[in-house]
Amino acid sequence: MSVSGSLREPALAKRHRIGQLFEWACCGSTWFGMVVLSLLLLSIGWKAMAWPIPDADAVDRAAATKTDAKANALLSPRPLSTRFLTSYDSRVPQKAGIKAALWGSLWLLVFVTITTVPVGVGAAVYLEEYSNEGRWKRIIQVNLSNLAGVPSIVYGILGLTVFVRMFGLFGHDGKVLDFNLGFAMLSIPLPFERSVISGALTLSLLVLPTVIVAAQEALRAVPSSIRTASYALGATQWQTIRHQVLPAAMPGIMTGVILSLSRAMGETAPLIMIGALTYLAKCPGKIDSLSAVWQHPTGLLEAPFDVFTSLPIQIFNWVSRAQPEYDHLAAAGIMVLLVVLMMMNTAAILIRNRFQRRTQW
Amino acid sequence: MSVAQQSPSILVKNSGSLTRRFSWTRAREQVIRLVLFLCGALSLLTTAGIIAVLFNEAIYSFSGTAFFQTVSITDFLFDTVWAPQHPDKPRFGILPLLCGTFVIAGLGGIIGLPIGLASAIYLSEYAKPKMRRIVKPVLEILAGIPTVVYGYFALVFVTPYLLRPIFQTWLGISVDIFNAMSAGIVVGVMIIPTVCSLSEDALRAVPRGLREAGYALGSTKFDVSLKVVVPAALSGILASFLLAIARAIGETMAVTIAAGQQPRLTLNPFRGMETMTAYIVNISLGDTEAGSMEYKSLYAVALSLFVITLSMNVLAQWVLKRFREVYE
């Protein structure tokens, strides 16, 4: 650089040296994140790949007694296998799996999506398209940024009081509302107790602020010429939004929604609050495979009001047990959870990239 | 429909069709507008719900006795022992929980804030676009990892493979299995993405002209970055710090797993501590009867947590507004 000529001046040389050191420090900090991430993934992957090697005595004893657990420990070389995905939690670490947790998480995902997307997008549309910088918009906007900062555990307490107990309005035993749908009975217990629907509603409240803000940004990115063109052709405001603005903003909205949902999938604390942490050897509504849906479709109606567990809850459950084998199970569970989240994030990024390149205003 | 009922003179007036009159399309527009407004108002309802629930169980109950109707607020704030499970004489002094919370959040801040700010400076001032394209997604991934994973990492790796060899084996300081240090370290890592992305936005918003002026006066890049750009973006950086600390205070799972469940009034980071969030989780794991004192203490602790994080958020917004430098 041209600077080198003047470097003879000692004070300047010193300043450049300091500058260089500073740049290295900043660069190092930036790489710190990468190092931690790779350490985290490597160490958890390493834990997930193998059981602790049993000492020779244990092997001998197992061979002598042929007890189920010990024999299994020697048979399956690693916790992360297909058996892990298709079996329930167990008192014997070598037999434990995440089937109930996977189905529980799936149900949560479905219901959080159903409740969050319409409400979140609706609120964003109201804020961006209808309220023209009015007082309501300001109040709701400030409120949203405050809600986004509320710790998730506080949402858990809200869910516990409002959905699980319903303020104790229904007494000690609760009440059941029965609806005859013609082909099946839909029974809604009040309060919701420790059910999938309680968990899903709590998580929905938790992610709503992020969904709304993301959808708002997507709507803001749609140029106003599209709207004016639509009005000029005689469309009403709702017709304009429904047929022009929303389709144009859809990729952005979907990206935001998927990212928020992946956050909901990883949430643990609010679900513990509403009581999801249980040893569970069944899936919500007894639906444990696609064929089960055909055999007893009424399970679909029972599932939302059934008890549940979810992936992060299951992981936490294993982490808090003492035996070292459970550490390996937890690591395997984390690998599965991370893969699921990674898939959701990749989908979001793919949608973003694909439509960013295509749409040019 | 309504047109038929109107008198002829009004009909004539309205025949220009620009004046407002009833039509089904317009009614539908109004209904949709109302529904969308309700969606937006749900967020207000959530806030109201949180405040009402915490108020009802902690401060003044409309259907029973609330927490602060039994325990005096001075005891709660200044008693130094937190022992709600004590059979004869339960004591509710929140100081040990506050201490745990702030020690861990402080450790997290010491680690996370400088690293986050330094990487923000690097990304906005030094890094080439290619580097940004690599680093940004990694930070997004770090931000998206569930906190229960960080807790596992702290308990199973940070304590036995990092803290114990260094502090216990070399320096001879005993390190508990559950300790505040490991929790603080992972909380620090957790807040790096928040600090980095918010600060970077603030730094990039500083106009190029200020940097050019700095160079024209003979500054090095270091001078420009640290003495021109950072002060100009100070409000955004401070706000990002406050938000990150608020997040560290509200952090739950990592802290519950790594720091243990012993409410302890100490500043030694190598002992186990219990934070406010961890207490809430631990109580809800057990079979606590609704309506018992222990159950109500949950709401009192949650109320304190809510007040602390909310005031930090409000403070952050105030800093942003009050100290913002506006450029043309």
Would you say B295 and B240 are in contact if contact means Cβ atoms under 8 Å apart? no
pLDDT given for residue B94 in this prediction: 87
Give the one of A149, A320, A330 whose C-beta lies nearest to B309's C-beta: A149
B47 contact partners, CB below 8 Å, separation of at least 6: A143, A146, A147
For residue B289, CA distances in Å to B118, B281, B284 come to 48, 15, 10
* B220·A212 Cβ contact <8 A: no
Chain A hits for B37, CB-CB cut-off 8 Å, are 126, 130-131, 136
Residue A232 lies in a domain: yes
Contact B259, B274 (CB under 8 A): yes
Is A108 found in the same domain as A61? no
Among A26, A44, A75, identify where a domain stops.
A75
Instruction: Please list, in sequence order, all residues whose beta carbon lies within 8 angstroms of the beta carbon of residue A302, skipping any fewer than 6 positions away.
Output: A187, A284, A285, A286
A275 touches B: beta carbon within 8 Å: yes
In this structure, are A112 and A230 located in the same domain?
A: yes
**Domain B93-322 classification at class level:** mainly alpha
Instruction: Among B146, B196, B256, select the one facing A266 at the smallest CB separation.
Output: B146
Residue of A nearest to B223 (CA): A19
Per-residue pLDDT at A54: 56
Residues B126, A27 contacting (CB under 8 angstroms): yes
Which residues of chain A lie closer than 8 angstroms to B246, CB-CB? Answer: 149
Q: What are the chain B neighbours of A205 within 8 Å (beta carbons)?
A: 46
A316 touches chain B (CB under 8 A): yes
How far does A151 lie from chain B, in Å, by closest CA? Answer: 5
Structural domain for A14, as ranges: 2-75
Chain A CB within 8 Å of residue B280 CB: yes
B309 has pLDDT over 60: yes
CATH number (domain holding residue A272):
1.10.3720.10
How far is residue A224's CA from residue B53's CA, in Å, rounded to a whole number? 42
Residue A360 has what pLDDT? 58
Report the alpha-carbon distance of residue A77 to residue A65 in Å, rounded: 20
Report CB contact under 8 Å: B149, A34.
no
Q: What percent of chain A is helix, strand and coil (3-state, nearest 5)?
A: 75, 5, 25
Q: Phi, psi (5° rounding) for residue B56? A: -65, -40
Contact between A40 and B220 using a beta-carbon 8 Å cutoff: no
SS3 A310: coil
**pLDDT tens-place string over residues B63-72:** 777 788 888 8
The answer to which of A103-112, A125-134, B246-255, B318-327 has the lowest mean pLDDT is: B318-327
- Put simply, the answer to whether B312 touches A149 (Cβ < 8 Å) is yes
C-alpha distances (whole Å) from B127 to each of A272, B48, B92 are 42, 45, 51
CB-CB under 8 Å, A123 with B36? yes
Contacts 24+ apart (CB under 8 A), B81-90: B82/B263, B82/B274, B82/B279, B83/B263, B84/B283, B84/B293, B84/B294, B84/B297, B85/B294, B90/B293, B90/B294
A137 Cβ neighbours under 8 A, 6+ residues apart? A127, A131
Q: Which ipTM did the prediction report?
A: 0.86
Interface touch B310/A150, C-beta < 8 Å: yes
Closest residue, chain B, to A329 (C-alpha): B152
Q: Is residue A19 a part of any domain in this protein?
A: yes
- Decide which of B158 and A87 is more confident: B158
- Do residue A230 and residue A186 come from a single domain? yes
Residues 6+ away with beta carbon under 8 Å from A128: A216, A219, A220
Q: Given CA atoms A73, A77, A79, A81 in this order, what sign does their dihedral have?
A: negative
| A81 in any annotated domain | no
In angstroms, the CA A135 to CA B46 distance is 19
Q: Are A30 and B116 in contact (CB under 8 A)?
A: no
Nearest to B159 by CA among A73, A76, A327, A153: A327
pLDDT at B147 over 80: yes
User: What CA–CA distance (Å, rounded) separates A31 from A16?
Assistant: 22
**Residue A100, min C-alpha distance to chain B (Å):** 18
Query: Of all helices (H) and strands (E), which one includes residue A185?
Result: strand A185-190
User: Tell me, what's the pLDDT at A357?
Assistant: 61
Q: Does B44 contact chain A (CB < 8 Å)? A: yes
Burial B42-62 (b: 16+ CB within 10 A, else e): bbeebeebbebbbebbbeebe
Examine the domain organization and report whether A94 and A68 are in the same domain. no
Q: Do A149 and B305 touch (CB under 8 A)?
A: no
Q: What distance in Å separates residue B139's CA from the closest CA in chain A?
A: 7
Q: How far is CA A207 from the centre of its chain?
A: 9
Last residue of a domain, one of A75, A106, A135: A75
The CA–CA distances, whole Å, from B67 to A161, B49, B199, B269 equal 15, 18, 40, 31
Count of structural domains, chain A: 2
pTM: 0.86
> Are residues A34 and A103 both part of a single domain?
no
- A63 and A116 in a single domain? The answer is no
Q: Is position A184 within any domain?
A: yes
Tell whether A136 is within 8 A of chain B (Cβ): yes
Tell me the C-alpha distance between A224 and A226, whole Å: 5
Q: Is residue A291 part of a domain?
A: yes
Confidence band of B11 (pLDDT split at 50, 70, 90): very low
Please, which residues 203-222 of chain A have a Cβ atom closer than 8 Å to chain B? Answer: 205, 208-209, 212
**Is residue A244 helix, strand or coil?**
helix
Instruction: Inspect the interface and report whether the beta carbons of A157 and B280 lie closer than 8 Å.
Output: yes
Chain A residues lying within 8 Å of B223, measured CB to CB: 15, 19
Interface test with B, best of A2, A30, A319, A346 (most B CBs within 10 A): A30
Residues 304-323 of B with CB under 8 A from A: 305-306, 309-310, 312-314, 317
Distance of CA A217 to the CA centre of its chain: 21
Q: Does the distance separating the beta carbons of B123 and A144 come in below 8 Å?
A: no
- Of A94 and B115, more confident: B115
What is the model's pLDDT at position B6? 46
A29: nearest CB among B119, B155, B309: B119
Q: What is the pLDDT of residue A87?
A: 78
Q: Hey, what are B123's tokens?
A: 């990304």
pLDDT in tens, chain A (361 residues): 445 555 556 788 888 888 899 999 999 999 998 899 999 999 998 888 877 655 555 555 555 555 555 555 555 556 667 777 877 877 777 777 888 888 889 999 999 999 999 999 999 999 998 887 778 888 888 899 899 889 999 999 999 888 888 877 777 777 788 887 777 777 787 788 888 899 999 999 999 999 999 999 999 989 989 999 999 999 989 999 999 999 999 888 998 899 899 989 999 899 988 877 667 777 787 777 777 777 877 778 888 888 888 899 999 988 888 777 888 888 889 999 999 999 998 888 888 878 766 565 5
With contact defined as beta carbons under 8 Å apart, do B82 and B276 qualify?
no
Mutation test of the interface with chain A: which of B101, B104, B126, B149, choosing the one with the most A Cβ atoms within 10 A? B149
Same domain, A101 and A28: no
